[in-house]
Amino acid sequence: MAMVKGPVIFQVSGYQNSGKTTLINKLISGLKEKGLSVITIKHHGHGGKPETPEGKDSSSHIESGAAASLVEGGGRLLMHAEKKSWSLEEQVRMVLQLQPDVVLIEGHKKASYSKALLLRSEEDMHLLKELTNVCAVISWDDNVIKSNDVNFETPFFSIGDPKGPDWIVEYLVSERMKKR
């Protein structure tokens, strides 16, 4: 049986201000140390469109009606594309063209990819039942885990414990090796 090639796609989910970006940055660093290339997809959950550099040619191209504008220089490629909305699947298909080892998705809680879940408090515990494919849980409040008779095989980590990000990096490396 042939192995499925391609990147590992992994989400970091949780509510606003739960530490998603901090965790993603730790994962990027850890995966890069292991020699893996990483691409991220971030959901701009603050309403409206993300900011773009004003007064630049690429922005003026979009303002003039271009659907997309790419700018390259010194090996850096910036893409600015506009349409009514972009599904997560469309975004994933685009980044797959760059052939990464790992795609990290920040946000998009309801998507079905394997994920780490960040819990801020007791109020967030419902996410454990609502979300699928949770591989690791990182909690801001150790009492949340202890007080909920959580009987999952999913590993739980405290937000300040470096073992959490380290465990996730090793998990992602292992998953990537399965696809080679």
pLDDT tens digits for 43-52?
766 566 666 6
- Pairing relation of β-strands 114-119 and 102-106? unpaired
> What per-residue confidence (pLDDT) applies to 22?
95
> What per-residue confidence (pLDDT) applies to 64?
82
Give 24's contacts (C-beta < 8 A, 6+ positions apart): 12, 40, 42, 104, 106
52 DSSP 8-state letter: -
Secondary structure (3-state) at 115: strand
Better pLDDT: 101 or 5: 101
In Å, what is the CA distance from 124 to each residue of 75, 82, 110, 117, 127? 41, 33, 14, 10, 6
> What per-residue confidence (pLDDT) applies to 62?
80
Q: Which pLDDT band, with edges at 50, 70 and 90, does 84 fall under? A: confident
Range with lowest mean pLDDT among 65-74, 94-103, 159-168: 65-74
Give 165's contacts (C-beta < 8 A, 6+ positions apart): 23, 26, 27, 30
- Mean pLDDT over 59-63 rounds to 79
> What per-residue confidence (pLDDT) applies to 68?
84
C-alpha angle 149-174-180 in degrees, rounded to nearest 5: 145
Cα–Cα distance, 168 to 155 (Å, whole number): 10
